[in-house]
């Protein structure tokens, strides 16, 4: 019932007050398209809500698309670039981007905006906006983000292989990654709360099922369930998706409640629930959804504004999958 309620929230979403936080990249601006394309956010919102109507798992896809884009080269839409012929060098060719989807929606939104405002709105801003407008209809906060990102002209499968953290990343590495994006400790734990939406593939959890590390504490009963869903160390198929938490369509604090019980899907979920630096924050977010929402908002703005290209550093691609 909670999943159904979260799915239906999208019909009630209006332009709320939102939460404004500081702009970390001086060139980004909350009113960047005020003159050049004033309807940009409304266009993205309508398109995303239309997708959610037919696919309630789409918010998780849009969030993951943004995070994976920002992790490699910064938030520059490099993940959308196609490979050069026969080279297979796009970020999407990386195994770390298994399951990334909804790229076609970004391309469709770009076409709409090109018709309204030719050459004005970057693909990087569309990716960021699609992710942010997915949160509120799922039950989360109405986040306001600054805009003005430019698109990159390069994409690298090798960079994606290295830069996108695996599901069994250590807490030390995770905190270092988010620190490089200007997130503090509390914000680093909050951004992990994006796992409250969607699910994961067997490929990303079989290691903990068949070769579990000492610091990976998993509820035995939950482990049995996972083994039924992912019965072999080498997955028979990559089509099986296991929910991240008990309410995978709801943006709520259930993720933190689950990991405290040993029911986190990924190894890193277990680790943040027991590490002495992060465990107290996990407990706070599990008990206080408002605090989680507030800190997640700050973390989201910082992450989506990190290492961006602005002004003449990049370009506004006419098509998101190719450079101009």
CA neighbor of 104 nearest in space, from 36, 55, 171, 177:
55
Note the pLDDT of residue 210.
87
Q: How far is CA 116 from the centre of its chain?
A: 27
Q: Can you tell me the mean pLDDT for 214-239?
A: 84
Q: How far apart are CA 271 and CA 181, in angstroms?
A: 21
Within the chain, residue ranges assigned H as helices are 2-8, 40-54, 58-71, 103-116, 123-135, 157-163, 171-179, 185-191, 206-210, 220-229, 254-260, 267-274, 279-287, 289-304
* Statement: residue 80 has pLDDT above 70: yes
Give the DSSP per-residue string, 218-230: --HHHHHHHHHHS
Note the pLDDT of residue 91.
92
Q: Cα angle at 113 between 112 and 117, to 5 degrees?
A: 135
- The proportion of the chain whose per-residue pLDDT surpasses 90, expressed as a percent, equals 71
Note the pLDDT of residue 74.
92
Q: CATH 1.10.420.10 spans which residues of the chain?
A: 177-297
Given the residues 4, 68, 107, 195, select the one marked as catalytic.
68
* Statement: residue 8 has pLDDT above 70: no
Across 181-185, 202-206, 252-256, 308-312, least confident range: 202-206
Q: CATH 1.10.520.10 spans which residues of the chain?
A: 2-164+304-313
* Statement: residue 93 has pLDDT above 70: yes
CA neighbor of 169 nearest in space, from 66, 251, 266, 297:
266
Note the pLDDT of residue 13.
41
Long-range contacts, stretch 9-15, CB < 8 angstroms, 24+ apart:
9/136, 9/137, 9/138, 9/139, 10/49, 10/52, 10/53, 10/137, 10/138, 13/49, 13/136, 13/137, 13/142, 15/142
Across 84-88, 273-277, 278-282, least confident range: 84-88
Which CATH code fits 2-164+304-313? 1.10.520.10
Tell me the pTM: 0.89
* 4 assigned to active site: no
What class is the 177-297 domain? Answer: mainly alpha
Classify burial at 118, counting beta carbons within 10 Å of its beta carbon; exposed 0-12, middle 13-18, buried 19 or more: exposed
Q: Pick the more confident residue, 201 or 64.
A: 64
Note the pLDDT of residue 83.
67
Chain mean pLDDT for the chain: 89
* CB 102 within 8 Å of CB 61: yes
Q: For 293, what's the count of Cα atoms within 13 Å in the CB-facing half-sphere? A: 18
Q: Can you tell me the mean pLDDT for 157-173?
A: 92
Give bridge partners of residue 243 from the DSSP assignment: 199
């Amino acid at each position: 019932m909670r999943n159904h309620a979260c799915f239906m929230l999208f019909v009630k979403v209006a332009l709320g007050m939102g939460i404004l936080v500081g702009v970390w990249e001086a060139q980004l601006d909350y009113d960047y398209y005020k003159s050049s394309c004033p309807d940009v956010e409304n266009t993205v919102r309508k398109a995303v809500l239309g997708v959610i109507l037919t696919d309630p798992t789409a918010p998780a896809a849009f969030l993951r698309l943004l995070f994976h884009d920002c992790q490699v080269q910064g938030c520059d839409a490099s993940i959308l670039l196609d490979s050069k012929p026969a080279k297979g060098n796009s970020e999407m060719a990386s195994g770390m981007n298994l399951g990334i989807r909804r790229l076609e929606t970004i391309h469709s939104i770009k076409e709409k905006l090109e018709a309204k405002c030719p050459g004005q709105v970057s693909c990087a801003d569309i990716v960021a906006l699609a992710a942010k407008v997915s949160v509120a209809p799922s039950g989360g906060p109405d986040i306001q983000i600054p805009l003005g990102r430019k698109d990159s002209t390069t994409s690298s499968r090798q960079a994606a292989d290295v830069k996108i953290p695996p599901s069994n990343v250590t807490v030390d590495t995770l905190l270092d990654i988010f620190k490089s994006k200007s997130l503090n400790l509390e914000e680093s734990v909050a951004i992990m709360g994006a796992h409250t939406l969607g699910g994961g593939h067997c490929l990303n959890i079989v290691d903990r099922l068949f070769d579990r590390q000492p610091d990976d504490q998993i509820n035995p009963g939950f482990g049995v369930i996972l083994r039924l869903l992912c019965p072999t160390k080498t997955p028979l198929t990559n089509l099986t998706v296991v929910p991240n938490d008990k309410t995978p369509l709801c943006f709520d604090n259930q993720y933190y409640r689950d990991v405290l019980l040993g029911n986190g899907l990924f190894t890193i979920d277990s680790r943040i629930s027991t590490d002495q630096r992060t465990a107290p924050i996990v407990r706070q977010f599990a008990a206080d959804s408002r605090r989680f929402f507030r800190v997640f908002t700050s973390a989201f703005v910082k992450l989506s504004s990190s290492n961006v290209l602005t002004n003449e550093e990049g370009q506004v691609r006419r098509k998101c999958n190719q450079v101009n």
